[in-house]
Amino acid sequence: MSSTKLTEIPGDLEEEKRLAKAARDANHLPELRLVLLGWRWPGKSLTGNTILGREEFHLERASEFSVKRETEVDGRKVTIVDTPGWFSSQTTPTSYQQEMVRSVSMCSPGPHAFLLVIPVGMFTETDRARVEENLALLGEDVWKHTLLVFTWAEVLRDRPIERHIRREGRELQWVVDKCKNRYHVINNQIFGEHPQLPLLMEKIEKLVAEEGGHFRTQPEEKAQSAAPAEANIGNLNSNAVREERDLGARPKKNCSFSSLRAMDIDPPQSPMVEGVSD
C-alpha cells in the first residue's frame, strides 16, 4: 500500500502544477498598468525600477508630481505611475493628494492594481491612519484593487512575513485585511533577473481576475466623491504653509535602514512628467 501512495504522489503533484499553469495562462494580461502608493523612504520608487528592470524612476530627490514610465517586460507593455510619497507624521500636502488622484487618469482606462508599498519595520496607528486617509481619496473600491508590497525584506532574515504581521499587531493587520490578505515581499537589493517578480505578477493578475478587471471610477461616484474630497483637502491643518516648509520627510526612527533614505526619491523632471504643463 505504501508503494501505491508513493507512485500516486508524483502524479498528484504534476496535476497540481498543470492546473496552476492553466490558471496562470488564463489570468495572463497582455498589458499591466500599476500605481505605486506609500510614504517616503520605503523603497517605493525603487520597487517601480525593480519591476521595470532598470532605473526609470530617478532617485536623486523627491518628486512632488505623479510620474509615469512605460516599458516592455517579458513581451508585454508595463505602465507604472509613481505618486508623491506622503509623510508618516505630517498631514499630506493638498498638492500631493491631488497628484494621487490624478495618477488614475495617467494610466487610462484605469490601473490594474495599486501597489501599497510598506517597509518591513515598526507600523504604528499613525501609519495606519495615514494609509486610510490617503487611500480614501480614491474611493472605497480602491482596496479591492490594492496589493500590499513589503520592502526591505532583508530585515526579515529567515522570519516569515506572516510572523512579522502578527507581531506588529492590529494596525498592520487592518491594512492586510483591507487588501483582502493580498501581499507580497520583495527585496529591492537584488539586481538583474529578479526571482520574486514572477510571483508578484501572478498575484496582480489573480487580483484582476478576481475583481473582474481593472480599477474603474464611475462618473457618478466621481461627482459624489469630489465634494467631500475637496472638503477634506480644504480642511487640512491650517498650518499648511508651515508644513510646506517642513516637507523634509524623515525615515522611521526605529528603522535600521535610515542610511538608505536617499534611495526612494524621484525628481520632478518636467519633460518626463505627464500633464505638468497642463
- Whether residue 54 has pLDDT greater than 80: yes
Mean pLDDT on 203-209: 95
- Whether residue 245 has pLDDT greater than 50: no
The least confident of 7-11, 93-97, 214-218, 249-253 is: 249-253
Q: Compute CA 212 distance to the chain's CA centroid, rounded to the nearest angstrom.
A: 20
Of 165-179, 215-229, 252-266, give the range with the top mean pLDDT: 165-179
pLDDT for the residue 275: 39
Write out pLDDT tens, residues 120-161.
988 999 999 999 999 999 999 999 999 999 998 888 888 999
Tell me the sheet residues that pair with 198.
none
Q: Using an 8 Å Cβ cutoff, are 47 and 115 in contact? A: yes
pLDDT for the residue 161: 94
Rounded to 10 deg, the angle between the 2-27 and 197-211 helix axes is: 70
Which three three-digit cell numbers place residue 157?
532574515
Peptide bond into 109 cis (omega under 30): yes
Q: Which residues contact 52 (CB under 8 A, 6 or more apart)?
A: 69, 71, 73, 78, 80
| Cell numbers 496562470: residue | 24
Distance CA 103, CA 34 (A): 10
Mean pLDDT on 103-123: 95
Mean pLDDT on 85-91: 85
- Whether residue 180 has pLDDT greater than 90: yes
pLDDT for the residue 219: 56
Domain assignments of the chain as residue spans, ordered by start? 29-263
Q: CA torsion 93→82→37→247, rounded to 10°?
A: -30
Which three three-digit cell numbers place residue 122?
515598526
- Whether residue 239 has pLDDT greater than 80: no
- Whether residue 217 has pLDDT greater than 50: yes
Q: Are strands 146-151 and 183-185 parallel, antiparallel or unpaired?
A: parallel
DSSP state of 66: -
pLDDT > 70: percent of the chain: 67
Tell me the one-letter amino acid at 272: M
When comparing pLDDT for 9 and 254, which is higher?
Answer: 9
pTM, full prediction: 0.73
When comparing pLDDT for 219 and 29, which is higher?
Answer: 29
Q: Mean pLDDT over all residues of the chain?
A: 77
Of 237-241, 258-262, 273-277, give the range with the top mean pLDDT: 237-241
DSSP string of 123-165?
--HHHHHHHHHHHGGG-GGGGGGEEEEEE-GGGTTTS-HHHHH
For the segment(s) 29-263, the CATH number from 3.10.129.10, 1.10.3720.10, 2.60.40.2310, 3.40.50.300 is: 3.40.50.300
pLDDT for the residue 248: 36
When comparing pLDDT for 186 and 182, which is higher?
Answer: 182
pLDDT for the residue 40: 83
pLDDT for the residue 244: 42
Which three three-digit cell numbers place residue 144?
479591492
pLDDT for the residue 168: 92
**Where does the pLDDT of residue 183 fall: very low under 50, low under 70, confident under 90, or very high at 90 and above?**
very high
